[in-house]
Structure 1
Amino acid sequence: MNPMPELAPMLKQLRLSGLLEALPARNRQAIEEHLAYTDFLALLIQDEIARREQKRLSQRLRRANFRSHKTLEQFDFAFNPGINRALIQELATGQFLTEPASVLIAGPSGTGKSHLAQALGQIAACQGQDVRFMTQTQLLGALNEARATGTFQRRFQALARVALLIIDDFGLKPLRSPQDEDVHDLISERYEQRATIVTSNLDFSEWGDAFPNRLLGAATLDRLRHNAYRVVLDGASYRSPKPLPEPPHSPLANSAKTAEQ
């Protein structure tokens, strides 16, 4: 007798319909290996826990809104050997999330800042942390849109409370009022409460130049830099253009050169 038709509605009622996928294979395994009922039940429960965790991870990655799937394993440390690999491996443990502390990543365009930030974000998501990845432009655009629709406080608090906020390309465009106030308020709200990763093409000494109000900028950066981990990515760009191919050999041009001689 096949118990599946009878089990299906009961498992759905208990919100355990995911067990239906693993049940046939586990049932065969139990018969072939003569498993005890408790061992068979334990395997099914393990399958359900793994399925739910994978579903939650997929949801966290979708909410994070990463540009692409970037991992630390894909990061080419040999390309720019000056990178502090030991520090990055330490950050990969997730300790900065529990402190909590900021991670500031600076370097020229194309040196892997966004890749590294997203890779650390991927690790945080796998560790069960909620993550948001946004460029400075996206962040300010979202807050401006929320202000226009009367949902600013709700949007602001969502960004303030997320376990890890990644702000990419900070300072790429100068801030204007009230953008500088929004950035200040957000960093202040997260200060010593939540971890933040910020990437920028600017040297650390130039970050204050992004703020039209220097006093406000100094107050913001003072909080951001306090106990922060600093990563400098310097060297060649991963986006260096490929060399142009040699022009094709032209018999006509050679003939003309011979005629001139």
Structure 2
Amino acid sequence: MLSHPTLDRLDSLGLAGMAKAFGELAANAEAERLSHAEWLALLLDREWSLRHARKLGARLRFAKLRHQATPEDVDYRSDRKLDRALFLKLLAGQWIADHDNLVICGPTGVGKSWLACALGHKACRDDRSVLYQRLPKLFSSLALARGDGRHARVLAKLGSVQLLILDDWGLEPLDAKARHDLLEILEERYGRRSTIVTSQLPVTAWHDVIADPTYADAILDRLLHNAHRLDLEGHSLRRGKSQPQA
């Protein structure tokens, strides 16, 4: 008799996890052996698990990560010079709390984007806001936003997330508007938020990609001053595989 009104009250309070667990426990004869404290602990644990799963799902949908990459699936055996100790330290997330940046460089196919997404997935698990962007597409989107009045709003979104992943840096030289937009993004984030940049080009070539000495100095100072580095080597991991892996 007690289960029906209790379930109604739990549902009305939005405690779906507790309601489901209560129904399962009430139907289980073995649950009669549990103390009141054990019942409460099980109900609270189920509610917390459900809310955590919902929040993680929402963060992952917002992040729009390019790959379904997780830390557990990272391959440390491939010959690409991945510094395992450093990567495990990055997974711990203190660098994000410290508002540091990360640069991942290496030839095409060695898993730069995949590793960045794995770090992004871990940050989502740690209840941090994450957003993935391919830089060529981002610059095109910002150009369109400038024309329809959304430019300031898009820049504010890019500046506010706790971890911003900028993928495929340096595929082509920047024009004046792209240089300005990138500097605005990094200026807003410097010392306040963390940014991951992936690139096929070594850092020594980035100055030329920016294509303006004054902007290059300003952009690279804000990006590299507090940046960790992962410099990968080796052949493409995509060879003979249907999907990129890391």
TM (norm. structure 2) is 0.91
Counterpart of 1:3 in structure 2: which amino acid? S
Mark the structure with the bigger radius of gyration: 1
Q: Tell me, what secondary structure is at the counterpart of 2:14?
A: coil
Which letter maps to 2:204? S
Asked if the contact 2:17/2:43 (under 8 Å) is kept, the reply is no
More displaced 10-residue stretch of structure 1: 210-219 or 92-101:
210-219
Deviation readout 1:169-220 (Å, 9 max, x if unpaired): 0111321121110001101110111010000000110111221322101210
Quick check: 10-19 or 86-95, which moved more?
A: 10-19
Query: By how many angstroms is 1:229 displaced?
Result: 0.4
Once the two structures are superposed, the pairs formed by residues 107-118 of structure 1 within 5 Å of their partners are 107-118=106-117
After superposition, the C-alpha distances for 1:75-102 in whole angstroms (9 at most, x for unaligned) are 2222125221111111111011011111
CA contact (8 A) 1:105 1:200 kept: yes
Q: CA deviation at 1:31?
A: 5.0
Q: How does 1:54-203 map to 2 (within 5 A)?
A: 54-203=53-202
Residue equivalent to 1:43: 42
1:213 alignment counterpart: 212
2:244 counterpart residue number:
none
Deviation of residue 131 (structure 1)?
0.3
Alignment partner, residue 33 of structure 2 = 34
- Conservation of the 8 A alpha-carbon contact between 1:8 and 1:17: no
Aligned equivalents of 2:72, 2:173: Cα separation in 1: 34
Aligned in 2, Cα 1:121/1:127: closer, same or farther, shift over 3 Å? same
Task: Specify whether residues 134 and 84 from structure 1 end up closer, same or farther in structure 2 by C-alpha distance, changes over 3 A only.
Answer: same
**Match of 2:16, SS?**
coil
Q: Is the 8 A contact 1:26 1:43 kept in 2?
A: no
CA gap 1:3/1:74 in 2 versus in 1, 3 angstroms: closer
- C-alpha contact (below 8 Å) 2:3/2:23 kept by paired residues: no
Amino-acid identity (%): 37
What does residue 246 of structure 1 align with? none
- In structure 1, how many angstroms separate the alpha carbons of the residues matched to 2:77 and 2:45? 40
- For 1:122, the aligned partner's letter is H
Q: Alpha carbon RMSD of aligned pairs, Å?
A: 1.8
From the superposition, tell whether residues 36 and 62 of structure 1 become closer, same or farther in structure 2 (CA, over 3 Å): same
Secondary structure of 2:102's partner? strand
Q: Quick one: which amino acid aligns to residue 125 of structure 2?
A: C
> Aligned residue for 1:20?
19
Unpaired stretches in structure 2, ≥5 consecutive residues: 242-246
* 1:134 Cα deviation after fit: 0.9
Deviation at 1:29, TM superposition (A): 4.8
AA of the residue aligned to 1:150 = G
The one-letter code matched in structure 2 to 1:136 is: L
Paired residues of 1:30 and 1:40 also in contact (CA < 8 A): no
1:258 match: none
Q: Residue 80 of structure 2 contacts residue 110 of structure 2 at CA under 8 Å; is this kept in 1?
A: no
Task: Kindly tell me the number of residue pairs found equivalent between the two proteins.
Answer: 241
Residue type matched to 1:15 in 2?
G
CA offset at residue 42 of structure 1? 2.4
The Cα of 1:32 is off from its aligned counterpart by 3.5
The residue number in structure 2 matching 1:3 is 3
